[in-house]
Amino acid sequence: MMLPVEPLYFVHISDTHIGPEKSYSRHGQRPYPCAERLIEVLNNLPTTPDFVVHTGDVVTDPDPVSYQYAADLFARLRLPIYYVNGNHDRAADIHHYLPMGPKEDVTADTNVLYYTFERKGYRFLVLDARGPDEIDPHGLLSEAQLELVCREATPDGPPLTIFIHFPVLPMNSTWMDAYMLVINGETLHNALLPARDRIRGVFHGHVHQSMQVRRDGILYSSAASAFAQFTAWPGDLTTGFDDNHPPGFNFVHLLPEQTIIRQHLFARP
């Protein structure tokens, strides 16, 4: 495996949950002004990242007004951006409303959103685990995508990073593990094992927390929500909200020999 010779930096954001009005509130907080503040922060980082990835739930309800607000907001971002389909999103709407950086779509079907792209010798795979409404908020990967993962996750090749909305493995939080996981996450994990030495991380959202899980040498990492956080204590039986935890994002360093993830928080407007 030939390693890249230079670092790559990306920003991991998630769960903006933009609504149909700027005054829209969810979980006791207003997503729109938080997203505005986030974009301002990202445009003024002391180190310019190569791209931003949004791991899903761009909006709360997939309606044209919410997506137009999102499109107008992220058009202010002076960085390339990539999107993952969340359980509150619809792939067709992301295709229609939200431009992305250079990529290669794996399918022409706009009702799903999975694709690949490469930067600086690193390879990225974006998966769409949004399942039918009856399993929400769980995720589910199609057989076609699992076959794609098997083709991509070979022992040899460039460093590989995967983006998905849902957590793949249990988080040791009773309510999260009962409701939030990819139903066939163990199958995905096993499909990734042949590439464990070249996988730099599997990055996801959905849990509204910055959390890390490591198994069999593979790192799974989530980012804090851009506006409101869940609680995730081991004994939590129902959804809780951490009103004292501010919004945030992760700044990810992909270096030739290692991955560094640094959480950044910003003041809620």
181, burial (CB in 10 Å: exposed 0-12, middle 13-18, buried 19+): buried
> Domains of the chain by range and CATH?
8-265 (3.60.21.10)
Kindly provide the residue ranges of all beta strands, DSSP E only, lying in 181-235, ordered along the sequence.
Answer: 199-204, 212-215, 218-222, 229-230
High-pLDDT (> 70) share of the chain, %? 99
Output the pTM of the full model.
0.97
Structure tokens at 96: 């229609």
Span 36-50, pLDDT tens digits: 999 999 999 999 999
In this prediction, residue 28 has a pLDDT band, given cuts at 50, 70 and 90, of confident
Whether 3 and 159 have beta carbons less than 8 Å apart is answered as: yes
Whether 141 and 150 have beta carbons less than 8 Å apart is answered as: no
Nearest one of 208, 205, 207, 249 to 228, comparing CA atoms: 208
pLDDT of 133 reads 95
Span 93-144, pLDDT tens digits: 999 999 999 999 999 999 999 999 999 999 999 999 999 999 999 999 999 9
Structure tokens at 155: 């022992």
Span 234-245, pLDDT tens digits: 989 999 898 889
Whether 82 and 98 have beta carbons less than 8 Å apart is answered as: no
Span 137-180, pLDDT tens digits: 999 999 999 999 999 999 999 999 999 999 999 999 999 999 99
Whether 215 and 122 have beta carbons less than 8 Å apart is answered as: no
